[in-house]
Structure 1
């Protein structure tokens, strides 16, 4: 049975998210645990973890995408590709520093993110997706190494 207090908590969560956060923080600070909207608070904390993982995946795909473009389209190399690699490496390193437990997740999703990056690289370059190796050519160490940029492939390996 839903009480009036539970209804009010849910209403605040649904109608003014920022105020819900401020109210929840205030209640936690004064240890007013009986008036906390626990259901939504737990959901928000769970979502924070999912958000961190999604951010890591997104940054990883961008790095892999630009590494592929760098390697498979050497004549098209640009400062923006290199700048993007640098920026997204920085973001991942910061995330791993703040949350070291993300490191195993990085290893876990590298292959999946590579497949996404290869598909995106195909769309952006006009090269067939088969141009790119099925298996990820880069290690997580390569991906995060500030000095790593892949070598060009011989012309006969690059399909148009």
Structure 2
């Protein structure tokens, strides 16, 4: 394999490295494994999955904040469906080892910032909860209605 393949064609590089690893696993001698990049790519796979889950959770929070801030918006039905979709995607990719790397307060802060000052349907939103009213477990497992109720202002 030519030098620099990692930088020019990551797909060809990964196929070649996978072939070399399979050969190594069978007990063959291989000399041109790109160990530094193989290790980096393995680490990046985990980080990519973690970032995907974080993104789905943040998007859920943004849509829950929109539902709380503009409950009568014509877009509310769409936001509800988005919460369900993002939750499904997060559930599919979530692994228990990710829990310690998910800072829900930081994700909520980013979601609040994204909604801050927004005007939807020409209206400012209702005041948002200062602290995230749900847990990570809630975001991953509660149904959409229960999540929405958690964001509702107490009477």
- What is the TM-score when the length of structure 1 is the normalising length? 0.77
Residues in 2 aligned to 1:142 and 1:17: alpha-carbon distance in whole angstroms: 38
| Root mean square deviation, CA, Å | 2.4
Unaligned runs of 5+ residues in structure 2 are none
- The alignment status of 1:136 with 2:132, answered yes or no, reads yes
Segments of 4+ moved more than 6 angstroms = none
Give the secondary-structure state (helix, strand or coil) at the position aligned to 2:148. Answer: coil
- The alignment status of 1:78 with 2:76, answered yes or no, reads yes
- What is the TM-score when the length of structure 2 is the normalising length? 0.80
Give the secondary-structure state (helix, strand or coil) at the position aligned to 1:149. Answer: helix
Unaligned runs of 5+ residues in structure 1 are 156-160
- The alignment status of 1:122 with 2:116, answered yes or no, reads yes
In terms of fraction of residues, the more helix-rich structure is 1
Query: How far does the alpha carbon of each residue in 1:70-96 deviate from its partner, in whole angstroms, 9 at most, with x for none?
Result: 112111152210111001111111112
